[in-house]
Structures are given as C-alpha cells and as structure tokens.
Chain A
Amino acid sequence: MEQKALTQKVIVLGVDGFDPKLAKKFMDQGKMPALKEFTIKGSAREDLVLLGAMPTVTPPLWTTLATGAYPGTHGITCFFASDPVNIDTMYYNLDSRKSKAEPLWNVFAEETGKKTLVWHWPGSSWPPTSESPNLHVVDGTQPSGINNGIPFLDLLKVVTGSEKIADSEYLPNTSHVAPGQGCIIDNAADLMDEGGEAETSVFRKVIAAGNNAKGFQFSITEEEECEIEALGSMVCDTIKSAIKSAEGWAQAPDGAKEFVFFVSNGLERRPALIVKNEQGIYDSVQFYKSKKEITPYLTLKRGEIRFDVSDTVKNDEGEDVACNRNYQLLDLADDGSKFNIIINNAAQVGRDDYFHPKSLYQEVVENIGNVPVNFRVNGSNEILVRETMIPSWEHYCNWQAKCLTYFMENNQYDIIFSHLHNLDGVGHYFWHYACNQEEWKENNEISYQQFQEDVYCQTDRYLSKFLPFLDQGWTMIITSDHGLITQEYHGVILGEIHGVNVPVLAELGYTVMVKDENGNDTKEIDWTKTRAIAIRGDHIYINLKGRNPHGIVDPADKYELETQIISDLYSYRDPRSGRRAISVAVRNRDAVHFGMSGQECGDIIYFTEEGFNKIHADSLSTQCGYADTSVSPIFVAAGPGIKENCVTERVIRQVDVVPTIAAITGVRMPAQCEGAPVYQIITE
C-alpha cells in the first residue's frame, strides 16, 4: 500500500517517559508554549494521548514505534528477554537482532533512497539491520544516553573538604545518602567514618552491562533489591579532603588554601587551591595536576558547573587516557574552611563504537562537541536534583538539539528518528518521591512535583528548538514510549524488570526457595517444589515438565494451575493497604488483547492495579498515578501532510505511528506492521 508523498522530510521527536496528562496540565497552564504551538500548527487528540502498547517498557515500545508491530509480534517483551527453557535466565534486550519485525527506517533507506538517521532510539536500532549507505545510526546502547553502554573510565567522585579533617582519605565505591536525607553536605563525612558500603545492586549492574551481557539470573526477595530502592543511593567514590595552608606551590595566590583529591580510581592524586577574591571571600577552587604547574586546568566559582571538561584518567600502565567529565563546586564556605565538589563519571573521548558510519562521530564532535555525560547523582537528595541532575540534563538536551538541528539545517537527512531521555532519565531517580511515603521520612512531595514541572519545561525548551523547521518543509511527530507514574502504594514486589519477583508468588505457594540450615529462605529457587515464577515486568512462567529442565508441572495440569494462579492473584491483598494489587491477569493466549501473547511472553501476563504501578513497566498503558501522572504515551503531529489546528477523537494507537509516517511519505508499510494510518489527521 503506497500513496503520493505529502511530505519529503520527517523528524520523529521521541521523548522517553513523556506523559500527555502532565504535558497537557503544564501546557494549559502556559508553561509549555512550544508544545502548544505544535498542537495549533498540527493535530492531536484533545488529551494528547497515544494509546500505548504493553508492556510499558522502553525497548519493547520504541521497537513498536519503529515497526508498527505489537511486542508479542516483534518479540521484544520487556527490558530483558526470558530464556524459554531456563525460565529464570534473562538476556539484554536492547539488541536489534532479537527483533522479528522490520523497522520503517530500513524501508526508507533501502527502497526510497531517503537519507535516514536513527538517533539513539532504544528499541531494536543497534546494530543497524540494513547495509544501505542511506541508513545512519547513533546509539547507546543503553536508553539513558548516547555511548552510555561504554564503561566509564572513572567513577563519580564526591569530594568533601574541611579544615576539621586531619588526613585526606579516599573511599572507593561508596554507596551512601539514603532516601529522605536532606543534604549530602552535612552527613557525608559521618557516613565515611562508618566505612563505605560496596555497591552490590544487581539492578545497576545488569542495566550497566550493555548488550554484551550474558544471560543472568537474579531473585528479588526484598525491597532493597527493587529498582526504586536500588537507585535510592548514589554510587560514587568518596574523598574526605583535609584543607591546609598552601605550601610548596610553584605559584599560589596570597592566602590560598590547598587540598588534595583523587581521580583515576584512586591511582592519581591531584592538588587544588581554594582562592580568595578581592573582597577577601574564598569564592573559587583551582584544580591542578601538580603543584609545579603555573596555571590550573580548571577553575570553578562557587555553585558553578563546568560540563565536558577535557581531562585525563590514568590507565594501569600509568598512561593518560583522554576523557571528558563534568565538575561542580556545589558549595564553598566564605572563609574557605569547607566545600563540596562533585566530579562526574569520566567518559573516554574518541569512542565511536555506537556511531554508524564512524565518521559521524567525528562530525558531531567537531561541529557540536563531545557526547555529554550526565551526572549520576542521587534522586532522593533535593539539592542534588535541583543543582546538579536537572542542569545536567539541560546541557544534554541543548547538545542533542544542536546536533539534530545542525543536520536539519545542512539537509543531511530526509528522515530522522530521534529519542531523548531526560524525563525517563530523571524519572527513575525521583518520580516516586512526588508522593510522600512513610519509609522515606523526609521526602517532600511538593518539591518533587515542582521538579516534575521543571523537567517538563526543560522538554518544552528542547522542543522549541525544532519549531522553526515546521516552516522549512519538515513534518514532526512528537511521541513517547510511555509516561511515568508516581506510585501511591509502595512495597508490593511485583513487576520488577530485572529478576524473579519472589515474595508474592512465594506467599501464594507457587515459588519455593531453597532453605538454609536455619530454615530460612536462600536466594536460590527450589525447582523441585516451584510450580511457577513471576519474572520480568509482567510475566509468569509455569515450571513445566518437558519444556523446562527442572519442570514439575505435568502439561495436562497446566491449564488448571494457570486458572488457580490467576484466581489467587486477583484475591491477593497488599498487607499494608489491604487493597487488591493486581489489575489484570490472563493466560498467554488471551494476552493477545494486550499485544503480549506468543513465545516471548509468559504463560500468564499480569498488570498491577492502579496505585501500585511503579514508575513504569508493570502497568496497563491507560493507568494513572499520584500527582496527575499517567503512564500513557503522547502523540502530537505537525507539518506538511498533517492537518493544522486539528483535534481528533480518533483513538491513536502506538502501532499507528509508523503507518501514519509511511502514509504521508508515500512508502510501503513495514512487513509486520499491525497499525493503520491516522487518516483523520492527514491532509487530503
């Protein structure tokens, strides 16, 4: 099915985690003027809603947005894939080779000769699946940022200096600052005295492992192992620095104070000076590699962040490896007696691993700048969210907008599929704090609701950079994979994407753990007694004879067992609130209604009840959360081929996005496409 092209140029402005409910709220309040402008110049539903597919997880849904096929069809059915035989084993799913559906970008590149760019699209884009020279791809291959799948050379450093500290100390791999604590500044030194807690979060490890990750198994048995808790503490190296009078310097200003800090995984010690201004107030810090140097490699004023500092990290041979990282002088006392500095993860410069063709990396770096590295700071600390995390994403948004508009200005591409991760990136760190919970004693939900507004305004500034191109023949589709929910009822362990969700199915008697000598559960599943496991976001697998190596359930009993599990899930009540925690549970066959049946899906598919949904992944795509949040994705289209100022009542499904783009550009539908063009918004 092909028709006359109504436009020659299309850019998909994908924003991960962009929720139409919050967007409409802020747009109606006049806080998202660019989005408003897009709706006036284009088409959307009144509520801006796109009916999302499920599971409400990033890789499945960006794959749906690329192929027009449901997850059950393209086969990417959660952040990780389950092994169909060893049902507790999972594999990384950000891998295009796992998708069974054709992406629209291949059609453009191979059959229409259109120059096509896929820019950090976390759903079956890497490695490129077409050899056409018309297809260029840039990736992560991790949703949070370009190149984030490449291991960092050096971990984030928190440097806390004080004249009260006698000797400088370096504490590697410290995990500290629990939710609710107001400020890192006051407690960092105390926490260090207690000794650092080594980072052991499997969630972080598997997410960071990238597409080289081998199969892994993990049983989630307690709250600390859940995503929200795992991300609740910050992983960093902590440095306790003694502040002294400057001595032995080739050149140090009068009255300067000195301290040392450590980089390169502790192998490299560097000196720094705290310097007074003309009024005698200590207001800046100068960073050096050696006291013999005359000029610092970096000077920071109080409160200043410097992004993309050209720096070096020592490798095991003692050689300098070029990297870029961010520095922030978070605070500094007027008398120079104490300070806090954050030095971000170091990313190696020159890594073109995820740029195809590789020359694209050089072009981006030369014309726009190094790929930014975001501060990975703690979402439970309001100061760090406001002063560090959100500004860091502002920098990333600006860099990305500059890259894409540079390509658009230079007519380098006809078709661009782009994705931005600012909302989802911060959402996983703090969206849940926008609802007060007893266990996070001091989280101030009003502050976090303000942060939600701040990042929506940030997204609007990003979108505004593309508005001028509407008059230059570009058609634009603003869309997302899912929204983000602020959870109301916390504590039921179901729907975690990174392992076997043990507690509820254990309580119901389906999952049994091996006991230790004291009769307590270990982390190991007892396959001789386990009839079913809940694994990944929404899947339950029966431990079936003949299919699974330790299967104990006779295939003849499978149907009845499924009936019983579904019945028990509906009867399950959250012990804290007394409420039903499951919204829907169905057999694999029936889950076709949700686009989630077939061999890549569990024997039972379930979704948690509204209120219990955490950030995203375990919810029906129509569910809403606390603080006006919803998990629904968004859809707004504008430009040639799209009606102006058009409000449609048509239910627009996520699988309809690809056919709509195909229809207005006059290309054929991708092979596995299950959607239909949104005829109602297309110009005659």
Chain B
Amino acid sequence: MSLRQLDAITFEEKIYGNEETCLIIFSRKSCHVCKQVVPVLEELQPKYEGKFGFYYVDTEENISLFQRFSLKGVPQILYFDSGEFRGKQAGLVDEEKVEGKIATILEA
C-alpha cells in the first residue's frame, strides 16, 4: 500500500493538529536511495495500522516543508509523537532500524 502524501496543510493537520504518532519520509521522485527505502515503509505500514502513521512528503512539490526542517538531502525519515519531534533517520535505512525507532516511540 502506497504511503499517504502530505502537503504543508495536511502536514500541519496530522502532526500538530491531530498530534499523530507517525513517521514522514521526505523524498524525491528521482532519488535512487528513496526508491529502496520507500518500499520498506510501504511493507511495514499495515503492521502498524491504527497505532503508527506512515506518510510521504514530495520535497520538490513542498520545498517550504523541506526547508522548514533544515534538511540537507533525501531520503530523511522524521518521527513525531504528540506534535513533538522524536528523531530522524537519513539515507539508506532498513526495516530493523525503522521498527526499532517505532518501538522506542510507542513504548515511551
């Protein structure tokens, strides 16, 4: 299942309005590393249905969001819980790393 896309408005709603516990991958269509990481997240998504959200931001279409977080490249996965930044992972990350981070956040 593909990840739900966020723009500046829906990002605001989900992260700060609804205070969702979730991750957001900042990505770019032409990025090779992203093409390896996104499927990992897509596969994990159903397992966390209702507990942990998975979202996607296209940085080319949402430059202001990309700049907002002072990001210096893609892919970058940002984690949020109750509107609070809980960490980020950059570059090629595997299932184990992502699940490890999710577990830390859900256990807290």
Binds A, one of B32-40, B48-56, B62-70, B91-99: B62-70
15 residue pairs A–B, Cβ–Cβ below 8 Å = A169-B64, A170-B68, A171-B67, A260-B16, A266-B68, A266-B69, A266-B70, A267-B70, A269-B83, A314-B85, A316-B88, A318-B84, A318-B85, A318-B86, A318-B87
B70–A268 CB distance below 8 A = no
Q: Does A143 contact B (CB under 8 A)?
A: no
A189: shortest Cβ distance to chain B, in Å?
A: 16
Q: Does A264 contact B (CB under 8 A)?
A: yes
Q: Which residues from B are CB-within-8-Å of A73?
A: none
Q: Which residues from A are CB-within-8-Å of B84?
A: 268, 290, 318
Q: Which residues from A are CB-within-8-Å of B16?
A: 260, 269
Closest A residue to B15 using CB positions: A269
Closest A residue to B79 using CB positions: A318
A267–B83 CB distance below 8 A = no
- How far is B28's CA from A416's CA once the two chains are assembled, in angstroms? 58
| Residue interface bits A609-651, CB-to-B below 8 A is 1, else 0 | 0000000000000000000000000000000000000000000
Q: Which residues from A are CB-within-8-Å of B79?
A: 318
A267–B67 CB distance below 8 A = no
A110: shortest Cβ distance to chain B, in Å?
A: 48
B68–A268 CB distance below 8 A = no
- How far is B68's CA from A268's CA once the two chains are assembled, in angstroms? 10
A172–B68 CB distance below 8 A = yes
| Residue interface bits B14-35, CB-to-A below 8 A is 1, else 0 | 0010000000000000000000
Top 8 closest pairs, chain A to chain B, by CB: A318-B87, A318-B86, A265-B70, A267-B85, A317-B87, A172-B70, A170-B68, A266-B70
Q: Which residues from B are CB-within-8-Å of A319?
A: 87
Sample of 20 further A-B pairs with CB below 8 A, known A172-B70, A267-B69:
A167-B12, A171-B67, A172-B67, A173-B70, A264-B85, A265-B69, A265-B70, A266-B68, A266-B70, A267-B78, A267-B85, A267-B88, A290-B83, A290-B84, A314-B85, A316-B88, A317-B87, A318-B84, A318-B87, A318-B88
- How far is B69's CA from A314's CA once the two chains are assembled, in angstroms? 12
Q: Which residues from A are CB-within-8-Å of B82?
A: 290
B5: shortest Cβ distance to chain A, in Å?
A: 19
Interface size for A (C-beta < 8 A) is 20
Q: Which residues from B are CB-within-8-Å of A264?
A: 85
| Residue interface bits A291-323, CB-to-B below 8 A is 1, else 0 | 000000000000000000000001011110000
Q: Which residues from A are CB-within-8-Å of B86?
A: 318
B77: shortest Cβ distance to chain A, in Å?
A: 11
| Residue interface bits A45-74, CB-to-B below 8 A is 1, else 0 | 000000000000000000000000000000
Q: Which residues from B are CB-within-8-Å of A167?
A: 12
Q: Which residues from A are CB-within-8-Å of B12?
A: 167
Closest B residue to A316 using CB positions: B88
Closest A residue to B64 using CB positions: A169
Q: Which residues from B are CB-within-8-Å of A260?
A: 16
Closest B residue to A265 using CB positions: B70
B29: shortest Cβ distance to chain A, in Å?
A: 23
- How far is B64's CA from A135's CA once the two chains are assembled, in angstroms? 52
Q: Which of A132-179 contact B (CB under 8 A)?
A: 167, 169-173
- How far is B88's CA from A318's CA once the two chains are assembled, in angstroms? 7
Q: Which residues from B are CB-within-8-Å of A266?
A: 67-70
B93: shortest Cβ distance to chain A, in Å?
A: 13
A497: shortest Cβ distance to chain B, in Å?
A: 29
Partner of B85, one of A169, A170, A268: A268
Q: Which residues from A are CB-within-8-Å of B69?
A: 265-267
- How far is B86's CA from A316's CA once the two chains are assembled, in angstroms? 8
Q: Which residues from B are CB-within-8-Å of A173?
A: 70
- How far is B70's CA from A171's CA once the two chains are assembled, in angstroms? 9
A582: shortest Cβ distance to chain B, in Å?
A: 44
A111: shortest Cβ distance to chain B, in Å?
A: 52
Closest B residue to A291 using CB positions: B83
Closest B residue to A169 using CB positions: B64
Closest A residue to B81 using CB positions: A318
B87–A316 CB distance below 8 A = yes
Closest B residue to A198 using CB positions: B67
Closest A residue to B16 using CB positions: A269
Q: Which of A315-360 contact B (CB under 8 A)?
A: 316-319
Q: Which residues from A are CB-within-8-Å of B67?
A: 170-172, 266
Q: Which residues from B are CB-within-8-Å of A172?
A: 67-68, 70
B84: shortest Cβ distance to chain A, in Å?
A: 7
Closest B residue to A319 using CB positions: B87
- How far is B83's CA from A267's CA once the two chains are assembled, in angstroms? 11
Q: Which of A262, A264, A267 has the most CB of B within 10 A?
A: A267
Closest B residue to A173 using CB positions: B70
Closest A residue to B69 using CB positions: A266
Closest B residue to A196 using CB positions: B67
Closest B residue to A317 using CB positions: B87
- How far is B83's CA from A187's CA once the two chains are assembled, in angstroms? 31
Q: Which of A265, A269, A290 has the most CB of B within 10 A?
A: A269
A25: shortest Cβ distance to chain B, in Å?
A: 46
